[in-house]
Amino acid sequence: MTERTTEGAGTVAGEPAAEAPLLRVRDLHKVFVHGGKQLHVLRGVDFVIHRGEMAALVGASGAGKSTLLHIVGTLDAPTAGRVEFDGRDVSRMDSRSLAVFRNRTIGFVFQFHHLLPEFNALENVMLPAIIARRPREEARSRAERLLGEVGLGERTTHRPSELSGGEQQRVAIARALVMEPRLLLADEPTGNIDSQTAAGIHELLFSLNRRHGTTMIVATHDERLAAKLPRRLEIRDGQVVRDTGAVLPCVELPAVPGPPPPAPAAGD
Ligand SMILES: Nc1ncnc2c1ncn2[C@@H]1O[C@H](COP(=O)(O)OP(=O)(O)O)[C@@H](O)[C@H]1O
Ligand SMILES: [Mg+2]
């Protein structure tokens, strides 16, 4: 029997979502209650991200960048407002479907890489695929390919403690990509490494976007990185105060591997 998958098809039963952008954030609010006090961190955040975009999320420390990424990544729920993928409101999904959705759709890279210390680089990268119950050999070959792409083909059996900070972050990026996520969320990915190593990570993110068409939102206060990204979303006082607007890639690559696009018509 052939298994069919609708993964990446961009449609949801009952909703004509073919035209929907990859991500739409609508009137998002987040209130934390801490020590009896209310902290209104997000106060009506709206934006749209199209497939293949690379956007910088900037704002002062405490502006709510991590909070926003966590909500977009479905790790935390908004107090009000909604997050839509392909026109589908993820806040209406139950926690089990949400966990599956997150594992398949979103990749996270954090400032502190959160690699598991007792596993080597290869095993760390394989882990999301193993959790998703992909065949072990497939998980292994994907992980090996990605470690090669991030320049760590010779480090697959090193544990995190046997890698430099920049190498650890590369492993974390490979791990975030092993499920071929449609959206990569990076929270201060170069916040904890020296500037030369950071430059290498920036290049890596760009090349992954070019090669795989991975859509990315990168929270950063590294101006060198933010300045290089095609789009800039700036948050202040809980709102997007500046958005330089979508810059679509010259060539839109499929989010999931598929047949090559047809050759352009001659003489066009
Ligand atoms: N779980 C939480 N409980 C209470 N306050 C929080 C929580 N998470 C974040 N905050 C507060 O929300 C604000 C925004 O935090 P954060 O999103 O981490 O900012 P940024 O990533 O832009 O530095 C900060 O003032 C922070 O102290
Ligand atoms: Mg933060």
Distance CA 54, CA 209 (A): 8
Q: Which of 202, 125, 112 is nearest to 158 (CA)?
A: 125
Is ligand 1 within 6 A of the CB of residue 62?
yes
Cα of 121 from ligand 2 centre, angstroms = 25
* Domain boundaries of the chain, sorted by first residue: 53-78+93-243
List, for residues 177-218, the tens digit of each pLDDT value. Answer: 999 899 999 999 888 788 888 888 888 899 889 988 899 999
Q: Do 219 and 63 form a contact (C-beta atoms < 8 A)?
A: no
Please name the residue whose Cα sits nearest to atom 17 of ligand 1: 64
Residue type at position 23: L
Q: Please determine, looking at this structure, whether the domain spanning 53-78+93-243 carries the CATH number 3.40.1110.10.
A: no
Using the predicted structure, report yes or no on whether residue 261 has a pLDDT greater than 70: no
Buried b (16+ CB within 10 A) or exposed e, 208-228: bbeebbbbbbbbbbbeebbeb
Using the predicted structure, report yes or no on whether residue 226 has a pLDDT greater than 70: yes
List, for residues 227-251, the tens digit of each pLDDT value. Answer: 999 999 999 999 999 999 877 654 4
Q: Which of 192, 211, 155 is nearest to 201 (CA)?
A: 192
Tell which one of 28, 38, 41, 233 to mutate to probe ligand 1, the residue whose CB is within 8 A of the most ligand atoms: 41
Using the predicted structure, report yes or no on whether residue 14 has a pLDDT greater than 70: no
Please name the residue whose Cα sits nearest to atom 27 of ligand 1: 62
Q: What is the dihedral of CA 224, 229, 230, 236, to 10 degrees?
A: -80
Is ligand 1 within 6 A of the CB of residue 38?
no
List, for residues 77-132, the tens digit of each pLDDT value. Answer: 999 999 999 999 998 888 899 988 998 899 999 887 789 999 999 999 999 999 99
Cα of 22 from ligand 2 centre, angstroms = 23
DSSP secondary structure string for all residues of 154-174: T-TT--GGGS-HHHHHHHHHH
Using the predicted structure, report yes or no on whether residue 13 has a pLDDT greater than 50: no
Please name the residue whose Cα sits nearest to atom 13 of ligand 1: 62
Q: What is the pTM of this model?
A: 0.84
Ligand closest to 68 (CA) is 1
The confidence score (pLDDT) of residue 266 equals 46
User: Closest ligand 1 atom, CA of 219?
Assistant: 21
The confidence score (pLDDT) of residue 11 equals 37
